[in-house]
Amino acid sequence: MSRRTKFLAGGLVIVAALAYLVYAGVSQSVVYFVTPSELGAAPVAGKAYRLGGMVQPGSLRWDPRSLDLRFTLSDGQATVPVRHRGTPPDLFAESRGAVVEGTWSRDGYFQATTILAKHSEEYKAPHDASQAGYKELLKTLRGSEGKP
Amino acid sequence: MTPELGYAATVAALVLAVYGAGAAAWSAVKGRADLQASSERAAVGVWLLITACMLLLVYAFLTFDFSVSYVASNTNRGTPFYYRITALWGALEGSIILWAWMLALYTLIVVARYRRTQPQLYPWVLAVMLGVSSFFLLVMTIPAPPFERLSPIPPDGRGLNPLLEDSGMITHPVALYLGFTGFSVPFAFAMAALIIGRTGDEWITITRRWTIVAWYFLSLGLLIGGWWSYHVLGWGGYWAWDPVENAAFMPWLTATAFLHSVMIQERRRMLKLWNLTLIILTFSLTLFGTFLTRSGIIGSVHAFSQGSVGQFFLAFLALVVLGAFSLLAWRLDRLRGQGELDSIVSRESAFLLNNLFLVAATFTVFFGTVFPLLSEAVKGTKVSVGAPFFNLVNIPIFLALLFLMGVGPLIAWRRASAENLRRNFLKPVAAGLVAAAVFRLLGVGNALVLLCLALVVFVAGTIALDFYRACRARRRTGEGWAEASWGLLLRQNRRYGGFVVHLGVLVIALGVAGSQAWSTQTEATLNRGDAVELAGYTIRFVGLEPSEESNHFKVTGTFAVTDHRGPVTVLTPAKKFYPQEQTPIAAVDYRLGFWEDLYLVLGDFARDGSHATIKIQVNRMVSWLWIGGLVLTLGAALAIAPEGRPARRPQRHEVPA
């Protein structure tokens, strides 16, 4: 084998290893973004989801003693009950957008491990609860990658 | 009046920049000195006009001129003095001014330094720099005008985003933008070299130094950004793989790759094509980052939802990439390397591998960042990959880079003999292995952390060995140890500046590994007087105190911290209620330490102050990031300094060695 071929072969092996790394990384950590209607239609228990919606007014229950947080996320058509252990984060409130990460529980609720309230530098999150408001909200939430 | 004046200045600057770019290019084609002088005056004029824009905007902020829409959106009567100045770059329009201003400043430095020394390259460099300026001024004129008038004039403004009321916001954007704009200088030199077809090597030296300057500022910007994220956002982390962080990290990676591969070009006349590609990539990535975060196509902490700015950036990015690579293709025959790789076990190949991994890291970060877009376009499903993806993929890559950091600087050029390898690497490798064994016995169980520790010791060993040998060589000429070390750092500042940067990276690597592996946290609701324990600390809830600040209302919790030796400190995390926000913002409080930080975030609380929920984190070795960052920037500064300075004879040190 000429030196050139050896270098090429070595390089290819490394590139292939890196490609596999990326492939494995994606298949292990891919998270599906769903709305409450989409999740309600076909929930798969144990699968990782990122669920976005509006915190339904009147649904927020927070017990500081047990750190138990419960609320309902809505997209105007369907609602999903969410449970989380921990303090509600900044920017999290009723009638505001939120994205939660976690899994669907067999017992009929969404177990959130992380709550991402919508951060935005100019805080233009729409807060009217009309249908148009929901649409706009979901549009912003679908692109949401806020910090935990 | 201010909006009209500002707008006029913007348009005038745009016209001047376009004229200057054209005049500079035409002067290069026709060899007309008068046109060149005219384009230089245009460059000065552009800088003056943008400076005027900045001053006008600062004036508008200081006088609460709410007829300027930007002022009304980013400040109110309660905004403290300093933040009324930094509000200048608190949002999109102002950051574009800052960007354009720095670009104009760099252009002036280029004029002053290279007018005489690089008569052939220089007019084209000027043309490219002014061309880039024209683009930013165009953005200031059409899609993101900072001087847009607001009518009717509101009695008070909306206020600055409370998260930006922080000292980090004074320096972070400035450093970051100095880095971003700095990469336009190497890019301009690369384009000029391609245009005149002189792909020889003297311009690469200029480019290298400018790249270190930009790299220095970008590193500083990233570090301050991490610090801001850590002490303001209240989640206890410093890096979230947020799209905007990635956007700044990608050009940093490609610039790092360039700074290494340029050494092979200088030494072996190889990789010309590759180096040009890296320069173009780095510059394009700064534009891409801005497009990504400013277009609103990917949401992020920093995303502004502004429509057409993204399109402008995308169009300019396409123009830059197409133009640059067309030039590259046109000059392809002049870019053939003269050297050839002799052996796999050589410095060249270590550097090539370093480049391969750095570019691979850039690619994975790029891929992960745009993955949601790709997936939506291809499969129509909205998916994303978060921090787990980036960590999983990048940890092996960065460990490999760490290993190469030990190998690269010491291995022989061309072909390393068994003797060379034994002499340079036997002791460091042994040290790394011993370190791994010792830490394993001390109870470090995490394999990745052990590997990281072993590699850090190995690399530190190679640096120490090299430095020791060089000092010993100097001592033969009769210098003392202190004198010899200083002499090395000052006289061979490029090589040893690089080593100092590497040391900084090692310290940062330890900080990352330690903080990921050993940090711990808990969350609890405490009655007044109750306490919770974490990692040897006892944190007692003393009480809540409301107060009224200039532009917000604040509730401060007081927590007394003790450990087994007695009182440690009193921490006062708070919640701030800004009238313009619907929900409060947490203000964390912390005690920083060398080994660990105690970090408190106030959560929910009872209005009567009877109980409060508190999140407590003990973050281990996070300080190492800031210390390592400081070392890294010092090293970079050392490497920028003119080389081979005659060593100042150091004063005899009174400090015991």
DSSP, collapsed to helix, strand or coil, labels residue A112 as: strand
Q: Do residue A33 and residue B388 have CB atoms under 8 angstroms apart?
A: no
Contact indicator for B17, B46 with CB cutoff of 8 Å: yes
| Average per-residue pLDDT for chain A | 77
In angstroms, rounded to a whole number, what is the distance separating the alpha carbons of residues A71 and A95? 11
Predicted TM-score (pTM) of this structure = 0.90
Q: Which residues of A touch B302 (CB under 8 A)?
A: 121
Residue type at B635 in one-letter notation: G
Query: Of the candidates B302, B583, B606, which has its C-beta nearest A121's C-beta?
Result: B302
Contact indicator for B381, B390 with CB cutoff of 8 Å: no
Q: Do residue B344 and residue A6 have CB atoms under 8 angstroms apart?
A: yes
In angstroms, rounded to a whole number, what is the distance separating the alpha carbons of residues B12 and B271? 42
- Quick one: which H or E segment has residue A50? strand A48-55
Q: Which residues of A touch B585 (CB under 8 A)?
A: 90-91
What pLDDT score does A130 carry? 38
What pLDDT score does B306 carry? 53
Q: Do residue A22 and residue B393 have CB atoms under 8 angstroms apart?
A: yes
Give me the helix-helix angle, B493-518 and B387-407, nearest 10°.
Answer: 140
Q: Per-residue pLDDT for B307 more than 70?
A: no
Q: Do residue A28 and residue B382 have CB atoms under 8 angstroms apart?
A: no
Unique residue bearing structure tokens 């370093």: B354
Q: Does A96 touch chain B (CB under 8 A)?
A: yes
What pLDDT score does B647 carry? 43
Q: Do residue B298 and residue A145 have CB atoms under 8 angstroms apart?
A: yes
Q: Which residues of B touch A101 (CB under 8 A)?
A: 386
- Percent of chain B whose pLDDT exceeds 70: 95
Q: Which residues of A touch B372 (CB under 8 A)?
A: 33, 143
Contact indicator for B599, B590 with CB cutoff of 8 Å: yes
B123 prior amide bond cis, ω within 30: no
Nearest residue of A to residue B526 by CA position? Answer: A65
Query: Of the candidates A30, A67, A145, which has its C-beta nearest B383's C-beta?
Result: A30
Q: Which residues of A touch B371 (CB under 8 A)?
A: 26
What pLDDT score does B411 carry? 87
Q: Do residue A88 and residue B242 have CB atoms under 8 angstroms apart?
A: no
Query: Of the candidates A15, A29, A119, which has its C-beta nearest B389's C-beta?
Result: A29
- Measured torsion, CA atoms of residues B430, B435, B436, B441, in degrees rounded to the nearest 10: 130
For the four alpha carbons of B627, B507, B562 and B533, in that order, the dihedral sign comes to: positive
Q: How confident is the model at residue A118 (pLDDT cuts 50, 70, 90)?
A: low
Q: Which residues of B touch A148 (CB under 8 A)?
A: 235, 237, 240
What pLDDT score does B625 carry? 96
DSSP string, B425-481: HHHHHHHHHHHHHHHHHTT---HHHHHHHHHHHHHHHHHHHHHHHHHHHHHTTT--H
Query: Of the candidates A64, A92, A147, which has its C-beta nearest B235's C-beta?
Result: A147
Q: What's the rounded mean pLDDT across residues B554-565?
A: 94
Of residues B545, B561, B554, the one with CA closest to residue B617:
B561
For the four alpha carbons of B405, B411, B415 and B419, in that order, the dihedral sign comes to: negative
Q: Which residues of A touch B166 (CB under 8 A)?
A: none
For the four alpha carbons of B61, B64, B69 and B73, in that order, the dihedral sign comes to: positive
In angstroms, rounded to a whole number, what is the distance separating the alpha carbons of residues B361 and B359? 5
Pairing of strands A110-117, B383-385: unpaired
Angstrom CA distances, B119 to B23, B43, B112, B185, B191, stand at: 15, 17, 12, 16, 15
Q: Do residue B240 and residue A148 have CB atoms under 8 angstroms apart?
A: yes
Cα B432 to chain centroid distance, Å, stands at: 30
Helices vs strands, H then E, count in chain B: 19, 11
What pLDDT score does B651 carry? 44
Q: Which residues of B touch A15 (CB under 8 A)?
A: 356, 360
DSSP, collapsed to helix, strand or coil, labels residue B302 as: coil
Q: Retrieve residue B503's tokens.
A: 């040391």
Cα B326 to chain centroid distance, Å, stands at: 29
What pLDDT score does A52 carry? 85
Contact indicator for B364, A22 with CB cutoff of 8 Å: yes
ipTM: 0.76
Q: Do residue A121 and residue B304 have CB atoms under 8 angstroms apart?
A: yes
What pLDDT score does A128 carry? 35
Strand partners, B533: B538
Q: Per-residue pLDDT for A143 more than 70?
A: no
Q: Which residues of A touch B604 (CB under 8 A)?
A: 62, 64, 87-88
Biggest alpha carbon distance in chain A?
A: 74
A87 to chain B, minimum CA–CA distance in Å?
6
Residues whose CB falls within 8 Å of the CB of residue B468, separated by 6 or more in sequence, listed in order? none
A146 to chain B, minimum CA–CA distance in Å?
5
Q: What's the rounded mean pLDDT across residues B368-381?
A: 80
Q: Per-residue pLDDT for B44 more than 90?
A: yes
Cα B382 to chain centroid distance, Å, stands at: 30
Q: Do residue B388 and residue A29 have CB atoms under 8 angstroms apart?
A: yes
In angstroms, rounded to a whole number, what is the distance separating the alpha carbons of residues B369 and B173? 21
In angstroms, rounded to a whole number, what is the distance separating the alpha carbons of residues A115 and B150? 36
Q: Do residue B392 and residue A90 have CB atoms under 8 angstroms apart?
A: no
Per-residue model confidence as pLDDT tens digits over B123-164: 999 999 999 999 999 999 998 889 988 888 888 888 887 778
Contact indicator for B152, B204 with CB cutoff of 8 Å: no
Q: Does A74 touch chain B (CB under 8 A)?
A: no
Contact indicator for B613, B604 with CB cutoff of 8 Å: yes
In angstroms, rounded to a whole number, what is the distance separating the alpha carbons of residues B184 and B129? 7
